[in-house]
């Protein structure tokens, strides 16, 4: 039986592990309680006109850190490449790319003196190496998290261990979009809906409009996945499902029984809709297509609704589940538990932590993308 809780103002999600007790407690009472290390899918080559820099930051978002570096170098912020967005209230280590001729080389980048942020915030350059091209958004293989939950009960270690063991089983944890995606006031999806329906015209700031429509796409994906869990189809393939081979391509399900067994073995992942005019669709008349059409209908949207915003939101498929890898748990003291795990790029650690804690974690900054 699914247990429902409200995840702040924008996201209503069930627990996959509703039969397992949570730890309770508080996440992120200190920035050091939320540590993230970003991994790229490739290493800097050591040659080229761009310079990749590995940055550690605290007390600022990724765009704010890029802004500090851009001002120090006297370059445009847009010329700095960022692979993944990271929260303000955390200690995060991630990669940026600096454009040609902005620095003399890696040694110059390492020697940069960057101003401190307000309070205890900072940004520091830890490593630097040359590479032929700019770092693009989404070029993240994984993020490794070390997170502390404070104020827990005495059996928190065993509870966290049980939940993480369940999430580590195929097909993995739900790949929800966390509340960061929906804005500080939780209204980004509603603003995106207004753009898609034409109730509000596209503005001059295409980046902002893209963010709003992306929030709507994310809400619809969450709704699709909630329905999937509610109907007992989380671990089941149905005809027409677009399935992603782990490490490979995508294909349509024609043999649900065989593909369900492959889901259980961890070979495949069901993909869900990030609706858009160019999104790959399930076959007409299949159960998978009917389920996706029903989600659009619930919001009063026609199948062609996203054609009007094709230029800023083409649409894509998103894995419904994520692997939770390299799990480690330790009891720091009688009321504090530390959990560590790795997630693929684009997945939210906070959606894993809500399963562990069974309580909403404190708000985090409304960054435009997943960590």
Q: List the CATH number of the domain containing 57.
A: 3.30.2350.20
Tell me which of 3-12, 69-78, 103-112, 121-130 is least confident: 3-12
What would the pLDDT profile of 234-291 be if each residue is shown by its tens digit? Answer: 999 999 999 999 888 999 999 999 999 999 999 999 999 999 999 999 999 999 999 9
Whether residues 198 and 297 fall in one domain: yes
**Residue 140: per-residue pLDDT:** 94
State CA 347 to chain mean position distance: 3
Q: pTM for the whole thing?
A: 0.86
Whether residues 29 and 121 fall in one domain: no
Residues classed as catalytic: 87
Is a pLDDT exceeding 60 seen at residue 7? no
Whether residues 96 and 202 fall in one domain: no
Which tokens belong to 61? Answer: 């978002």
Whether residues 313 and 331 fall in one domain: no
**Residue 343: per-residue pLDDT:** 94
Secondary structure in 3-state letters for 149-192:
EECCCCCHHHHHHHHHHHHCCCCCEECCCCHHHHCCCCCHHHHH
Whether residues 299 and 183 fall in one domain: yes
Residue 363 in any domain: the answer is no
What would the pLDDT profile of 57-97 be if each residue is shown by its tens digit? Answer: 999 999 999 999 999 999 999 999 999 989 889 999 999 99
Residue 335 in any domain: the answer is yes
Is a pLDDT exceeding 70 seen at residue 2? no
**Domain with 97 in it:** 42-131
**Residue 181: per-residue pLDDT:** 83
> Could you tell me which of 272, 306, 5, 28 has the C-alpha nearest to residue 146?
28
Which tokens belong to 234? Answer: 């989380």
Which tokens belong to 97? Answer: 């790319």
What would the pLDDT profile of 174-225 be if each residue is shown by its tens digit? Answer: 999 887 788 878 889 999 999 999 999 998 898 899 999 999 999 999 999 9
Whether residues 28 and 79 fall in one domain: no
**Residue 264: per-residue pLDDT:** 95
**Residue 369: per-residue pLDDT:** 39
**Residue 12: per-residue pLDDT:** 66
Which tokens belong to 264? Answer: 């259980």
Hey, is 304 helix, strand or coil? Answer: coil
Q: Sign of dihedral through CA atoms 18, 145, 220, 259? A: negative
**Residue 360: per-residue pLDDT:** 53
- CA 195 to CA 188: how far, in whole Å? 11
Whether residues 271 and 316 fall in one domain: yes
Residue 368 in any domain: the answer is no
Q: Can you say whether residue 100 is alpha, beta or left, with left for phi > 0 and alpha for psi between -120 and 50 degrees?
A: beta
User: Helix and strand tally (H, E) in the chain?
Assistant: 8, 17
Whether residues 155 and 194 fall in one domain: no
């Amino acid at each position: 039986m699914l247990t429902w809780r409200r995840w702040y103002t924008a996201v209503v999600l069930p627990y996959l592990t509703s039969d397992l007790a949570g730890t309770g407690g508080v996440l992120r009472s200190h920035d050091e309680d939320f540590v993230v290390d970003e991994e790229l899918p490739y290493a800097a080559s050591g040659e080229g006109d761009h310079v990749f820099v590995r940055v550690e930051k605290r007390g600022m978002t990724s765009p704010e850190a890029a802004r500090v570096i851009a001002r120090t170098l006297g370059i445009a912020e847009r010329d700095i490449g960022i692979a993944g967005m990271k929260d303000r209230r955390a200690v995060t280590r991630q990669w940026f790319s600096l454009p040609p001729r902005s620095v003399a080389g890696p040694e110059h980048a390492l020697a940069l003196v960057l101003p401190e942020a307000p309070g205890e915030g900072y940004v520091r350059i830890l490593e630097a190496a040359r590479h032929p091209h700019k770092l693009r958004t989404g070029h993240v293989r994984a993020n490794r998290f070390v997170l502390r939950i404070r104020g827990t009960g005495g059996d928190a270690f065993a509870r966290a261990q049980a939940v993480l063991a369940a999430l580590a089983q195929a097909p993995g944890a739900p790949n929800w979009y966390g509340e960061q995606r929906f804005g500080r006031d939780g209204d980004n999806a509603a603003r995106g809906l207004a753009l898609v329906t034409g109730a509000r015209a596209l503005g001059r700031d295409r980046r902002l409009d893209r963010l709003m429509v992306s929030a709507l796409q994310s809400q619809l994906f969450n709704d699709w996945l909630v329905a999937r869990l509610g109907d007992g189809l989380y671990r089941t393939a149905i005809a027409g499902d677009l399935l992603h081979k782990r490490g490979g391509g995508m294909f349509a399900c024609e043999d649900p029984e065989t593909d369900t067994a492959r889901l259980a073995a961890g070979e495949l992942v069901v993909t869900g809709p990030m609706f858009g005019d160019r999104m790959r669709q399930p076959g007409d008349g299949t159960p998978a297509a009917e389920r996706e059409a029903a989600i659009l209908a619930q919001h009063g949207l026609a199948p062609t609704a996203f054609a009007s915003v094709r230029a800023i939101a083409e649409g894509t498929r998103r894995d419904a589940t994520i692997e939770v890898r390299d799990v480690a748990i330790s009891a720091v003291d009688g009321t504090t538990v530390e959990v560590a795990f790795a997630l693929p790029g684009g997945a939210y650690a906070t959606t894993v932590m809500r399963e562990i804690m069974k309580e909403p974690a404190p708000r985090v900054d409304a960054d435009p993308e997943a960590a």
